[in-house]
Amino acid sequence: MLIALAAVLWALLGVFSQRLLNAGVSSTEIAFYRAALGGLLFVAHAGLTRQLRLQRRSDLLAFVGFALVGVTLFFTALNMAIDAGGVSLAFILLYTAPAFVAVLAAIFLGEKLKPVNLVLIALAITGVTLVARSGGGGMEVGVAAIVWGLVAGLSYSSYYLFGKWVLRRYQPATIYAVVLPVGALGLLPFVPFDAVRLATPALWLDIALMAGLSTYLAYLVYYLGLKRVEASRAVLVATVEPVVAAGLAALLFGERLGVLGVLGALLVLTAAVLTSMLPREVATTAQEP
């Protein structure tokens, strides 16, 4: 239930981001507020629980690298994908991450790409191709939407690879108290601060809920749940995220995937679930960001 709650909270990101984009706030600014305000909540949490300390100074470089990829790039790419093609498309393409993990783990971690990995990667690619050829209402399946969605999936995969190492040493509060503020600093030069000019109570409420519910609380309840179930089951439950996101997008923004899009989405999600459930010697066990 905790993991399912986290998935729903992450799915709400699509609603908050789309509403803020419609209000005229830029993708980078949305990403900045999510990282900065969510980071402040984790700093307060880590400070109160005395977890605001790194074990080794040499770990800081790894944290900074992850922050730039997993926060600065990922948060921005997801918003750019939503802006270019809609919430449904962005969250479907986000779940190409396990396929990217299999490839990157083979390149950087020396893990073998076995035939089953290649089949599942091909399944994910086929799904993306079908989604790219799909029509639908209330959304635009264009080059920019596909590219940014895949960049989001690629940068999202850093959570799986980094998480495999860092969760052995640190509590989630410590991790996010460092990487979210650092990621926000990486975004700072690209923020026009339109939200200050456009300030309305509804706009700032969306920003506050995005940081409080879909960032701080979502990460917190996910890792509480992960302590109680194995990672493969956690990923399986968390796959409701794009389903909920697509449902909310259909209800609130009139987004509809065509027949090919629905079929492609099913292939992408099937590949994500099966890749995440493979034994460790076959594929990297996924950790949801």
Distance between CA atoms of residues 261 and 110, nearest Å? 34
Question: What local confidence, expressed as pLDDT, does residue 137 receive?
Answer: 64
Q: Is the pLDDT of residue 281 over 60?
A: no
Q: Residue 141 in 3-state DSSP?
A: coil
pLDDT given for residue 135 in this prediction: 63
The boundaries of the domain holding residue 178 are: 2-277
pLDDT, residue 228, reads 78
Residues 6+ apart with CB under 8 A from 136: 88, 255, 256, 257, 258, 261
Q: Distance between CA atoms of 62 and 56, rounded to whole angstroms? A: 11
Using only C-alpha atoms, the chain has a radius of gyration, in whole angstroms, of: 18
**Is position 20 within any domain?**
yes
**91-111 residue pLDDT tens:** 999 989 888 888 888 887 777
Assess if residue 285 is contained within a domain.
no
Judge whether residue 276 has pLDDT over 80.
Answer: no
Q: Is residue 145 part of a domain?
A: yes
Could you tell me if 215 and 289 are in contact, meaning their C-beta atoms sit under 8 angstroms apart? no
Token couple for 114: 């076995």
Task: Tell how far CA 59 is from the center of its chain.
Answer: 23
Residue 287 lies inside a defined structural domain of this protein: no
Q: Residue 278's pLDDT is what?
A: 74
Among residues 33, 283, 81, 47, the alpha carbon closest in space to that of 180 is found at 33
C-beta separation of 88 from 249 below 8 A: yes
Indicate whether 142 belongs to any domain: yes
Counted domains in the chain: 1
* Residue keyed to tokens 């969510």: 38
- pLDDT surpasses 60 at 283: no
Worst-scoring range by mean pLDDT, 79-88, 204-213, 250-259? 250-259
Instruction: Please report which confidence band the pLDDT of residue 129 belongs to, taking 50, 70 and 90 as the band edges.
Output: confident
pLDDT value at residue 233 = 67
Model pLDDT for residues 198-232, shown as the tens digit of each residue: 878 999 999 999 999 999 999 999 888 877 776 65
What does the pLDDT look like over 36-63, one tens digit per residue? 999 999 999 999 999 988 888 889 999 9
287 vs 199, which has greater pLDDT?
199
Q: Across all residues in the chain, what is the average pLDDT? A: 87
In a domain, 91, yes or no: yes
For residues 161 and 109, the answer to whether their CB atoms sit within 8 Å is yes
Question: What is the structure's pLDDT at 1?
Answer: 87
Q: How many CB atoms lie within 10 A of CB 138?
A: 15
- Distance between CA atoms of 213 and 29, rounded to whole angstroms? 18
Is 220 contained in some domain?
yes
Per mean pLDDT, which range of 33-37, 175-179, 270-274 is the poorest?
270-274
Judge whether 154 lies within some domain. yes
6-47 pLDDT, tens digit each: 999 999 999 999 999 999 999 999 999 999 999 999 999 999
